[in-house]
Amino acid sequence: MGELGGRTALITGAGRGIGRAIACTLAARGATVVVNDVDPEPAAGTVELITAGGGTAVTCVGSVTDADFPDRFVQTALDATGGLDIIVNNAGFYWNDPIEDMSDEQWDAVLDADLTAPFRIMRAAAPIIRRHPTAYHRKVVNISSNAGVVGLERQSNYAAAKAGLIGMTKCMAKEWGRYGVNVNAVAFGWIATRLTAAAENLAHIEVDGHRMPVGMRPEKRDLAARVIPLGRSGTAEEAAGAVYLLCTPDADYINGQCLVCDGGRH
């Protein structure tokens, strides 16, 4: 069964990259996973990977910013297993510009996805958390970023959202600790995903109708590698390992903390 046998884990943004790695890691340790992605195909792909490895997973497709999503997400878990034990608020994106060029649309879009959506998901889960205690510790892991810890240029919206997520994590650790819930955050540095892939000419992705550039120019990637003590970016699987650590029973007395996973950069 694994350390997480019998647990049900909800993971947003689990169709690709770090989210997919988190979903596969938790499923391999025994959790039944509710896989969310804004697109059905990547979500289905994650479920296929999990089931091929002998795990159990279901999808809940949709944008985390949709008004009906939080209740639907929680209900999917209850319909699948009758339980709700782990929440990983992973979905999010950045949309960079210097502050003088940043529009209200950019600000609002990033805050909605990266901060307001996790708040709404935890609010939707609150009745289950409060009224249905378990004999073991439930876990919430909010995915932050180095931008929210030390700040990064051209990311005032993203840094504000990720710093706010750390603040909310500390508040919820105090609010939900009495119910046997550990609420922690993980702040990632440079993790190799499609958002940080090498690109001479930056690619673009579309999120909730917003078209935004992604990728890192080779010279920027080289500089980033030189200032990381481990000398390289992290992998999605290594990022997932940091989240998994906080979901295990070994972390039952860790609460309200932000674990920085960046190869020693900060």
CA nearest to 123, candidates 87, 96, 150:
87
Q: Which residues have CB under 8 Å from 52's CB, separation 6+?
A: none
Measured distance CA(210)–CA(204) in Å, rounded: 10
Supply the DSSP string of 153-188, one letter for each residue: TT-HHHHHHHHHHHHHHHHHHHHHGGGTEEEEEEEE
- C-beta separation of 51 from 26 below 8 A: no
The residue from 94, 158, 179, 253 that is catalytic is 158
H helices present in the chain, as ranges: 17-28, 40-52, 69-81, 104-111, 117-131, 146-150, 156-176, 218-227, 236-247
Measured distance CA(233)–CA(192) in Å, rounded: 6
> Catalytic site residue 158?
yes
Compute φ and ψ for 146, nearest 5 degrees.
Answer: -55, -30
Token pair belonging to 198: 């090498």
Measured distance CA(185)–CA(89) in Å, rounded: 9
Catalytic residues: 158
